[in-house]
Amino acid sequence: MTATRQILPRLALSPGRAEPGARCLPEEVAVALSFNGTTQAVMMASPADLEDFATGFALTEGFARQEEIESLTPVETPRGIDLQIWLRAEAEARLAARRRRMAGPVGCGLCGIDSLEEALRPPPPVAGSVRLGARDCLSAVDGLVDHQPLHDATRAVHAAGFWMPGQGLVAVREDVGRHNALDKLAGALLRQGVATGRGAVVLTSRVSIDMVQKCARLGAPVLIAVSAPTAHAVRMAEDAGLTLVAMARGDRCEVFTHPQRITPDEAAHVA
């Protein structure tokens, strides 16, 4: 499998000084997601946890649930990696309806979308009953810092984690793309059988509408991010019943939607 990082030479410059050396950088490769023999998307991604990526992408993009995936095979080619996913017959109509043609740089979650209606499709309603304290939200973000080996080595990737009361972070995935990191996390949770309605997704990135859509499809009732959301993401989270917590840094966080799941004290339990 392709390496996830490379050490490359660099020249560090400061006033009156030049210092040769090297830096560890994250690798990115073209990853094709092919469903039933047809490529639906080509994403630039970190070449790790690709089975999780394919499983999560199929769910969060509305193509197929985990049980509708018959087989999943990563195939390395000279120009990248082809994730060959074969779906059951009942998923084929859904696949055709949600067809995308994406080929773009990382961070572009809506490249080549067929229509504005598809880009702004409402996510399914979220009904998880988890209850968190404000300190839980901050602890989840703090805990994510200790589970980012690729970021620690390169300072150039995003992370997505899933935090559960009484357990802490049960899964973390990293990628050069924030959408990819979330899809990899979704796939990991599905493949591990984690009850996604009983915890919170934690992100190192900002929150756009596509991140809200993906979390809602995953069934996570709470989304916690270190950066700010867009206004449209807040409106979409409100409509979906998703609790959106952002700007979670230090000893403070901001709750934008459905605050009934978050308490200001230290108490936290699952109803």
Catalytic residues, by residue number, are 108
Question: Which distant-in-sequence residues (6+ apart) come within 8 Å of 40 by Cβ?
Answer: 33, 34, 63, 95, 99, 100, 101, 102
Count how many Cα atoms sit within 13 Å of the Cα of residue 245 in the half-sphere of its side chain.
30
Burial degree of 38 (CB within 10 A; 0-12, 13-18, 19+): exposed
Whole-number Å distance between alpha carbons of 184 and 186: 5
Whole-number Å distance between alpha carbons of 168 and 150: 20
SS (H, E, C) 137-152: HHHHHHHHHCCCHHHH
What are the backbone angles phi and psi of residue 111, rounded to the nearest 5°?
A: -65, 130
